[in-house]
Structure 1
């Protein structure tokens, strides 16, 4: 099996495919929208479509993927090189306006997702699909790999009352789809009215692949996912965004570590946490006691004790379960020093961020009641989701 070719790679090499798009072209993209030679898709579109390339859209973190954290919005601007408007879909609006969509015939989507429900790019995509209903616009998704593979599915399904911009649809935490398949799932199961949608499939991608198996280059799809290793730990550490504990933002290993100034990591690990991990029978990882000092975000300039998650076997590693276990143990270890983060969070001004992240309040109650790890199995009801996934799989 050769190197994986993304939808962008295939589009740029296939003149007959390019020739199908006769009208004006726009592109939703970000920092990781590159081909196998590290060339950005916007640069390729300038070459391929010339003056017909008329607009760029950027998701959360912006077109250049430089803005941090949730609810830090980016501005619209005219790009100094491409000389066309760049519209932010994480600004005063997360839905493209009618004005933004004017004169577009073909709107390409080239976004690198990371395979977890709590990552916003798939919702920028589905909001775009909904906005283009009954418009004379073809939406073309240039497919990209799910970096944590298309086989493993883990975690609870989002409950409707906890819908937000980090969870719009009934997905498990680890959804097992490519972004093209998310588009197809949306069209088949999550909307009554359809959009004119096309997915340009990858070549040589197999569902069992992790990103390292694709032989493709990795660049950061968001500021705190600079390392491909972080995609595997993200479903673990993202839970701590709903707490006062640091998830490593402001360090060189964000979303791979967690901690707080009140933790003495070595004694806690030796006397307590290591025994809980052993009892849980969770495999494929090692927790290493560390100290770190965030340069921004939570606990800025304070020495934090905490833990780095080292994955020793990606197939055996269950990131959602490991995250819930760590959350439970640190909640009870820190007692009054542990706080649930208060709203607002991702434009939700009423519900606790941890419940929005979990897509349920049941998991917070599980943590607070110090219930057994086996109970987590009862929160996963994936039968119907797996049946739906089988209907839309394109690989």
Structure 2
């Protein structure tokens, strides 16, 4: 007599051993009944040579199922329908056909840093610097203007950037950070058109929009044309924070906007003009080369870090929240490899904050706060992507610091753009109460902002 070959019907996973070991159970799952018209089969198994009537029954069921699936496929694939294609974002710099004709035969200056790149391939994996690209294309680049951190991006935050010469191209490099934040008339006399190509991060105290203000003002006063090559805002998906009060205006906050403004630098250029924020209400002749295939709700990871202490997408997303620690006696992580992703100080206890780090000089900070001292605090590097400014860490650090009277520095008011935030935290206001006080200002700002948007909002 021919022997039946038994095939396991199902498997179950053992629990509790941590290895996920599987074994074949000898029991049939409750409610699962199999026809028993053929030779006897142990529960949970069926023979490899079943009764022909059973085999025909299953073949018929399978055929009907396949036919139904085929008809379903026919219904969902209507004529002319195509699957949506995910397009690669194109920055203004990538759209050479839109701006090269504007540069032909002109003497060109450019405001640039390491983020001023142009991709060389459709997959967006290889890039070259904008200055190198323009020179190769025969554009007459006369000089480079460098913002905070310099043309090659190696200077610390707040460190003076000196004029010099770019060793690669031989072009003169003029600093726009330090005593000379605004291009002088003599520095623009041999230029017909100025390009502005910097990657911003959508935050009021990130100084590239302040540099934009002074560049626009200089162009307006000298009659020079300005071309802004737009780039996505990695924090463009939210608008949040207190509105800057004019009396607290500084280079880390020049305009009455919230901390996170949700605009690209091209949109912001239109706002500067439209709101007449330049000296004496002058208007800059500006042209924005917009991004393609971009909306504000798209996550955008920068191919090049925008400054030495914003090394990755997590740091950039946390920056609107954790940079406020720069106006306190708490370290925001400079001197570590998790800048703006950790915070801590020697005045926070190990009991309340088990996590610790010790700042040391590195390429992003030659002399970090609490250099060589252990700081207790919190690691935020694995936190979820934020869609608002988080105050919980600031409020908690103030509540647990050893000496509250020394927690805030004078710089905090400049970063916040108002005295109110410090006063609210000192008075013990909750995060919800503080956020409620921002609502009216944010609503008014959104109405103004809407006039200048170039892209679908988040």
* DSSP 3-state at the match of 1:9: coil
Q: Is 2:140 the partner of 1:69?
A: no
* Structure 1 residue aligned with 2:108: 25
User: Pairwise mapping of residues 342-353 of structure 1 onto structure 2 (< 5 A)?
Assistant: 342=409, 352-353=410-411
Give the counterpart of 1:294 among 354, 359, 365: 359
* Structure 2 residue aligned with 1:375: 433
Q: 1:222-275: CA deviations, max 9, x gaps?
A: 11011121110001110010012110000000011100123235x325xxxxxx
Q: 1:295-337: CA deviations, max 9, x gaps?
A: 03111111211111246542xx3552x2x32222211211417
Whole-angstrom distance in 1 between the partners of 2:262 and 2:387? 13
TM-score by length of 2: 0.74
Whole-angstrom distance in 1 between the partners of 2:382 and 2:264? 22
Deviation at 1:209, TM superposition (A): 1.2
TM-score by length of 1: 0.85
Q: Is the 8 A contact 2:185 2:222 kept in 1?
A: no
* Structure 2 residue aligned with 1:145: 232
Whole-angstrom distance in 1 between the partners of 2:221 and 2:370? 48
Give the counterpart of 2:165 among 73, 78, 93: 78
User: Pairwise mapping of residues 5-154 of structure 1 onto structure 2 (< 5 A)?
Assistant: 5-11=90-96, 14=97, 17-21=99-103, 22-36=105-119, 37-50=126-139, 52-70=140-158, 72-149=159-236, 151-154=237-240
What root-mean-square deviation, in Å, do the aligned CA atoms of Structure 1 and Structure 2 show?
1.7
Q: Is the 8 A contact 1:331 1:338 kept in 2?
A: no
Whole-angstrom distance in 1 between the partners of 2:346 and 2:148? 30
Gaps of 5+ in 2: 1-85, 120-125, 362-367
* Structure 2 residue aligned with 1:175: 261
* Structure 2 residue aligned with 1:349: none
Give the counterpart of 2:420 among 354, 359, 362: 362
Whole-angstrom distance in 1 between the partners of 2:138 and 2:418? 45
Whole-angstrom distance in 2 between the partners of 1:134 and 1:127? 11
Give the counterpart of 2:314 among 226, 229, 247: 229
Give the counterpart of 2:450 among 386, 390, 393: 390
Whole-angstrom distance in 2 between the partners of 1:115 and 1:210? 13
Whole-angstrom distance in 2 between the partners of 1:187 and 1:337? 42
Whole-angstrom distance in 1 between the partners of 2:232 and 2:328? 30
Bigger helix share: 1
Whole-angstrom distance in 2 between the partners of 1:202 and 1:103? 29
- Is the radius of gyration larger for structure 1 or structure 2? 2
Q: 1:68-93: CA deviations, max 9, x gaps?
A: 122x1011012222122100000321
* Structure 1 residue aligned with 2:340: 255
**Pairs aligned (count):** 352
Gaps of 5+ in 1: 270-288, 343-351
User: Pairwise mapping of residues 134-283 of structure 1 onto structure 2 (< 5 A)?
Assistant: 134-149=221-236, 151-189=237-275, 190-191=277-278, 192-212=281-301, 218-265=303-350, 267-268=351-352
Relative distance call for 1:318 and 1:364 in structure 2 (3 A) is farther
Deviation at 1:49, TM superposition (A): 3.5
Whole-angstrom distance in 2 between the partners of 1:330 and 1:20? 52
Whole-angstrom distance in 2 between the partners of 1:79 and 1:387? 43
Deviating above 3 A after TM superposition, structure 1's stretches of 4 or more consecutive aligned residues are: 310-313
Whole-angstrom distance in 1 between the partners of 2:99 and 2:252? 34
Q: Is the 8 A contact 1:232 1:319 kept in 2?
A: no
Deviation at 1:176, TM superposition (A): 0.4
